[in-house]
Amino acid sequence: MSTTNPSTANQASATSFNAEESKNILIKQIYHAATCTIYITLSREEAEKYVPASMKRPLSLKRLRQSLQAIKVISHEVQIRRQINHAANTEIKALKLIHNPGHENLLTFLDHDTTGPNARWHTTPLCSLNNLAAIISHWQQTTTHAPSTAFAFHLGASLAQALLYLHGGIRENGKVVSNWPAIAHRDFHPGNIFFRPHEVAGSYKDYPCIVLSDFDNAEIETPSRTRAHIVQFQGKDLKDLSVHMSIVSHHVGGPGFARWVQHLGEIERPEKGAERYDNGLKALAGLAKVGLQRRTQLYQPLEAGFLALFQQPAVSDEELQSVLQGAGDV
């Protein structure tokens, strides 16, 4: 099966990946920076499973689209710079911890490079190309497609649940994952908050699932990085959640969500040197529960124009068909 040509940007990393790893088909580049390039990929195994000659093309395209992944390839320059390459390994470590047992509001881990001590790439499920930053920008530029109050509660409660799990291993049912190390995200902003189709776990009716991603700046508790050190960064995560939900509240009618955000901003932050902030986590869990209840009580289907913001395909049918052709489904 042939691999479609990636962009020439960061070609060295892409070439290195292709030369040593054949599990994935590179489809297109979606992000490039000095440190890494991100591509949309398709598992070669999945492609060969879903594109037999007897399968009708519409069904093939649907199943291929559901199997799309994102691969982050670390640039060659970064691979020889310990500090930034350490960040890549930290992200993989965080994703692995999250993956077992997993949380629907946190990015899932699929695979990574195991050829050496420093991973050059790792794969995750593909989220929508639209992130919360793009949605907020849309709200700021137009008065159309404002979210419902119920959707705002869906967004806020989902992110609160993500931080509860990340910070304390606290699941939606209140149970705590045993031996969970303290983790701080440290890069909590709208550009790292993505959406997945409402068909997946963690979504609600026609609302997309909210997914917190990008863990290369994370801090993880270790013998040399004490819990007291990590907890201070967790306090900043909590503050960032409050700030960004306040921005969302400016675009949502009705006082209910604004009051919820106000309570969020009043949550007790960890004191300097504290090894836990149990009262803060308890308050956050309470707000998450209230947010989910309000989402149910106030539910309204998403307006078509607003829903379309999450449904823009990351890969066109033509691009997927080229994968089919490469697999021999012509």
Residue type, 214: D
Query: Is 171 found in the same domain as 187?
Result: yes
If you average pLDDT over residues 246-252, what whole number do you get?
A: 90
Question: Which sign, positive or negative, has the C-alpha torsion 188, 193, 199, 200?
Answer: negative
Query: Is 65 found in the same domain as 173?
Result: no
User: Is residue 51 situated within a structural domain?
Assistant: yes
Query: Is 304 found in the same domain as 163?
Result: yes
Which residue is associated with the tokens 């700021």? 140
Query: Is 151 found in the same domain as 257?
Result: yes
User: Is residue 2 situated within a structural domain?
Assistant: no
Q: Which CATH number is 267's domain given?
A: 1.10.510
pLDDT at 48 over 90: no
pLDDT tens-digit map of 103-133:
999 998 888 887 777 778 888 988 876 899 9
Which has the minimum average pLDDT: 69-78, 123-132, 284-293?
Answer: 69-78
Give the residue with greater pLDDT, 254 vs 104. Answer: 104
Structure tokens that stand for 239 in this block: 């503050």
Q: Which CATH number is 60's domain given?
A: 3.30.200.20
Query: Is 181 found in the same domain as 103?
Result: no
Query: Is 252 found in the same domain as 173?
Result: yes
User: Is residue 4 situated within a structural domain?
Assistant: no
Q: Please report the pLDDT score of residue 186 as a whole number.
A: 96
pLDDT tens-digit map of 16-36:
454 335 677 888 898 888 888
User: Is residue 3 situated within a structural domain?
Assistant: no
If you average pLDDT over residues 247-272, what whole number do you get?
A: 90
Indicate the pairing of strand 121-125 with strand 68-74.
antiparallel
If you average pLDDT over residues 90-114, what whole number do you get?
A: 89
pLDDT at 315 over 60: yes
Q: Please report the pLDDT score of residue 85 as a whole number.
A: 59
If you average pLDDT over residues 130-150, what whole number do you get?
A: 85
User: Which band of pLDDT confidence, cut at 50, 70 and 90, is reported for residue 6?
Assistant: very low
User: Is residue 232 situated within a structural domain?
Assistant: yes
Give the residue with greater pLDDT, 57 vs 313. Answer: 313
Which has the minimum average pLDDT: 74-78, 253-257, 291-295, 305-309?
Answer: 74-78
**Alpha-carbon span 275 to 264, nearest angstrom:** 21
Q: Please report the pLDDT score of residue 153 as a whole number.
A: 96
Query: Is 96 found in the same domain as 200?
Result: no
User: Which band of pLDDT confidence, cut at 50, 70 and 90, is reported for residue 310?
Assistant: confident
Percent of the chain at pLDDT exceeding 90 = 41
Residues present in the chain in total: 330
pLDDT at 14 over 50: no
Q: Please report the pLDDT score of residue 259 as a whole number.
A: 95
Domain range for 89: 11-126+314-326
Query: Is 144 found in the same domain as 117?
Result: no
pLDDT at 11 over 80: no
User: Is residue 1 situated within a structural domain?
Assistant: no
- Nearest Cα residue to 121 out of 3, 214, 16: 16
Total of domains in the chain: 2
Average pLDDT, the chain: 83
User: Is residue 150 situated within a structural domain?
Assistant: yes
Q: Please report the pLDDT score of residue 50 as a whole number.
A: 67
Helix axes 149-168, 227-249, angle to 10 degrees: 180
Q: Please report the pLDDT score of residue 10 as a whole number.
A: 39
Query: Is 184 found in the same domain as 109?
Result: no
CB 166 within 8 A of CB 98: yes
pLDDT tens-digit map of 149-206:
999 999 999 999 999 999 999 998 899 999 999 999 999 999 999 998 766 555 688 8
Query: Is 178 found in the same domain as 75?
Result: no
Query: Is 38 found in the same domain as 146?
Result: no
Q: Please report the pLDDT score of residue 163 as a whole number.
A: 97
Query: Is 157 found in the same domain as 215?
Result: yes
Helix axes 227-249, 278-298, angle to 10 degrees: 30
Give the residue with greater pLDDT, 284 vs 121. Answer: 284
Q: Vertex 241, ends 244 and 217: CA angle to 5°?
A: 105
Q: Please report the pLDDT score of residue 62 as a whole number.
A: 76
Three-class SS state of 67: coil
Q: Please report the pLDDT score of residue 51 as a whole number.
A: 64
Question: H/E element holding 68?
Answer: strand 68-74
Q: Please report the pLDDT score of residue 16 as a whole number.
A: 42
User: Is residue 173 situated within a structural domain?
Assistant: yes
Give the residue with greater pLDDT, 13 vs 270. Answer: 270
- Nearest Cα residue to 188 out of 260, 264, 239: 239
